[in-house]
Every structure is written in C-alpha cells, then in structure tokens.
Structure 1
Amino acid sequence: RRMFPTFQVKIFGMDPMADYMLLMDFIPVDDKRYRQVMPCPPCGAQYAFHSSSWLVAGKADPATPGRVHYHPDSPAKGAQWMKQIVSFDKLKLTNNLLDDNGHIILNSMHRYQPRFHVVYVDPRKDSEKYAEENFKTFVFEETRFTAVTAYQNHRITQLKIASNPFAKGFRDCDPE
C-alpha cells in the first residue's frame, strides 16, 4: 500500500548543477508492539478518534529487513529538486516479509520514524573516500507513526479514499 499521508518536502540550499539522490528509510522508534484502545467497545456508539489511544501490548516482533526507497527521479540536478515540492507518493509499505517488489517492510502495530536522506553524487573517481560527507539525513519527529493494516477510524478511511486518485470506485456518488 502507498504510504498515507504522503511524505513531501521542500528542498533548498543544493548546488543547482550538482546531482543528488533522495531516499527514505524507516527505523523502529522502540522495541514495543502496540494496540489501539477505544473508549467504548463496539456497541453502536460513535467512534471518538481523539479519545482513542495506543497502549503497549508487548515486546516488538523481530526487526524487518531494512530497505531503502529511492525517489524515482533520482539522481537529478539540485535545480530540479529545489524548483518544487518533492513528493514520495510512489513509496509503498507492506507487512509481507516475503515481499519481492522492493516495498518497505514494516511490522504492523509497531512505531516507526521515517528518515529522509539527501546524497550528493560525487563525480570524483575516489568518491568513496568522501562518502560520509556526501550525505545528510533529516528526521522529522512529527512524521512518526504506528503501522497498521486497516484503519480503525472510518473518517481516516474516507480521507484516504478522498485523497487517492485511484479510488474512484469507492467514492460516494454525488448526483449533482
């Protein structure tokens, strides 16, 4: 599945003529597994998203294989990256440990921190000597999330459908 909401970033400060690769990976926030607790069991009451919470449900499952997602436009000139918002809308997540499509594998009900990496494509023949200075990692703590297989909140489901250009068949028909 595609990550929702999509990670988007505005970039500045690059050398406009240099080549860069943009990529993302995901690291576990902690060594715990979570479960969502709702204020009222399924009793017909309206689900209150703002009052639900995540509780620790035990120790984390074994770590998934670490994978990296390269932005499909990589590598590209700094000028291209800086001219508009960069969207990772092609990034796909899965909980399938046997995935062979290159998707990012995450454990459901575990917390993750996305990391955004900018890699300068060094034209020097001995560029591996400078590898450490040729990349920068950015972590935005507000992008932390709990991986789920299904949304527990119908409003979030509707928001995703409304935002998904491929979900035309799921949208309510407006007769007007």
Structure 2
Amino acid sequence: MSQNNGSALGGAVGQDQSGAINPSNLPVMVHAQYVKDISFENPGAPFSLKSGSEQPKLDVNITLDAKPIEDAQVKSLFEVSLRLSARAVRGDETIYIAEVLYGVAASMPNVAEEHHHALLLVEIPKLAFPFARKILADLVQDGGYPPLLLGPVDFAAMYLARFANKNGGSDDAKAQANA
C-alpha cells in the first residue's frame, strides 16, 4: 500500500470531503508567521482625506516568493513571503501606498520534493493570506481611509498561469498577479 500525498493543485492535499482546506490535513508544519516589512505612505494628507472627493483608482498587486532555509534541526524548511501592495491614485495624485510583506517559515519533511513547489506557492499562501489581508486593511484604515477589503485570491490559478508551461520550476520562483 502506498501513501499518496497528492498534489496541491489536484484537490487532495489538505482538503476535507467538502473540498475546504483543513490546515491540520496539510503535510506542512508552520513554524512561524510574521510581518517582515510594512509601509504606508500618505503624501496628500490631510487634503486627500476630505469627504466628497471622487473615489481613487486602486491598484493591488500580490507577489509570492519561496526559498529554502538551511537549518540543521529542521528538514525541508522554507520561507514563503507574501507581498501585498496597494496604491490609490486620484488623477495624477497618489493618495496612498500601502505594502505588507508577510512571512511564513514552514517545513515539509514527509513530502516528496516534486510536491514542494505547489505547496509553497499555493497552499501556504492560502493559509497566510487572511492574516496579511487583515494587516493591510488595518494599515489603510489607520491611514484615515476606509479599510481595503480584498476578496479571496485563487493562488492555484496564479500558480497555473505562471507555471503551466514549465515542469515544476525552482523553489525560489516568483508568481505575480493583479488583484
């Protein structure tokens, strides 16, 4: 009898019978989650905060990065970085720029190496995104604006769009998408 860890994109890894992600079913151990960097620029304040102004145009970008971490005590340790960037512009005036770089240290000691890439760039970002999204929403709200409410992100679709024509890729590969 062989054990099948499944594929992060095939719907088996970490999902319960309803298809929902259950973190306790993922073959990944999260060692830490943390803010690596955070930035908020509010160049037009207080004038940009006036009520009745037209809605700014919003550009949101999500960037992923994963890299191995050398650790003598933990096998298959990686750091996944999730960057959320938001820029609000009204005309040619920048209203605000907000960025959160959120990190996750995770290991996958019992996962075949060919499954690492998808787990690192799909499943771990799925776990981290709600935390990073909340930090970004609070950051924008603390800057004097309504909170930035981002919907769910399909990290599997991002992964497929980026790596559909490649066989696997490297662990430090980056995937980008506009939200």
Normalised to the residue count of structure 2, the TM-score between the two structures is 0.32
Larger radius of gyration: 1
Normalised to the residue count of structure 1, the TM-score between the two structures is 0.33
Larger fraction in helix:
2
